[in-house]
Amino acid sequence: MLILAVLIVCGVFANWVAPSDPLQSNLRSRNAPPVWLEGGSSQHILGADPLGRDILSRVIHGSRISLLVAAVSIGTGLTVGVTLGLFSGYYGGLVDELIMRLADVSRAVPYILIALVVAIVLGQSLVVILGVLAFATWSVFARQVRAEVLVLKQMDYVAQARIAGAGAGRIIVRHIFPGVINTVTVVATLQVGALMLTEAILSFLGAGIPPPTPAWGVMVAEGRDYLTNAWWVAFFPGAAIFLTVLSLNFLGDWLRDRLDPRLRQL
C-alpha cells in the first residue's frame, strides 16, 4: 500500500514532485551516474540517460503514464467485460454462446502481435495502446462474472424477485450485480499490474508509448544498450515496474483473502 501510495502521489503531482523537466536534455550530463557513485552529483540523484535527461524526473513522470494507461484500459475492459458477463450468465443460450466465443477469440489472439501490427499501420500513440490493452482485458472479466452469475441466478432471492414481478434488467442490476462486485474488485486489482507490465513490454518492443514520452518501458528500451557502462538508465525504471506490479499482486491476493468467504481467515 505504501508503494502504491507513492506511485499515485508521483503520478498526480508529477509536475511538482519531479526535480526537473523530464524532457530537458543536457549533453554535459550524458550518462551521469547516481549521486552515491563516483562522479555523481545531487543534480541527478538517480543519474542521467544518454541524452542527459534526469532519470528520477522521468521515472516520476512515467508513473503518470502507467496510471493513465492502467486506469483507462481497466475501466474500459471492466465495463465491457462485466456487462457482457452479466448478460451471458443470466440469459444463457445463444447470447451466452456468442459472447463466450468472442471471449475465446479475444484470448486466442496474440495481442502483442496485434499491437505490433497496429503500431506499424496506425503508428505509435497512446490511443492505440489503450485500445489494445482494453481488447486484451475484457474477456477476463466476462468469463469470471459469467461463472458467478450462473451460481447467483439459481439463488432463492433471485427466484423470489422473479416471482414478485421484477424484470430481467432489475434482477441483474439490483440482485445479481452486487454479488459479483467482490470478485470484480479482486480481478481488477490483479489485472492492473498485468496491464502495467504489458504496457511496458509493448513500449519496450516499440509498439507502445512513443518516445520521448517518459514511459517506463521506453526508458528500459533506451537503456538496454548501456547496461555495461550506464546500468542505471534501465535499472531504475525496471525497478519501478517490478515494485509496482509486485505490490498490485500482493494487494490483489490480500483482497481475495478478505472478500472471499471461502478463503477468509478467522
Count Cα atoms within 13 angstroms, Cβ side, for 240: 33
pLDDT at 266: 46
Is there a cis peptide before residue 212, judged by omega within 30 degrees of 0?
yes
Query: What's the chain's length in residues?
Result: 266
CATH number (3.40.50.720, 3.30.360.10, 3.90.550.10, 1.10.3720.10) of 30-259 reads: 1.10.3720.10
Listed residue (223, 246, 245) closest to 234, CA to CA: 223
pLDDT at 183: 82
pLDDT at 260: 62
Q: How confident is the model at residue 235 (pLDDT cuts 50, 70, 90)?
A: very high
pLDDT at 213: 81
pLDDT at 262 over 60: no
Would you kindly state where each structural domain of the chain is located, as residue ranges? Answer: 30-259
pLDDT at 214 over 50: yes
Render pLDDT for 78-90 as a digit per residue (tens, 0 to 9): 899 999 999 999 8
Render pLDDT for 129-188 as a digit per residue (tens, 0 to 9): 888 888 878 888 999 899 989 888 888 888 888 888 888 888 888 888 888 888 888 888
- pLDDT, mean of residues 199-225: 81
- pLDDT, mean of residues 193-218: 80
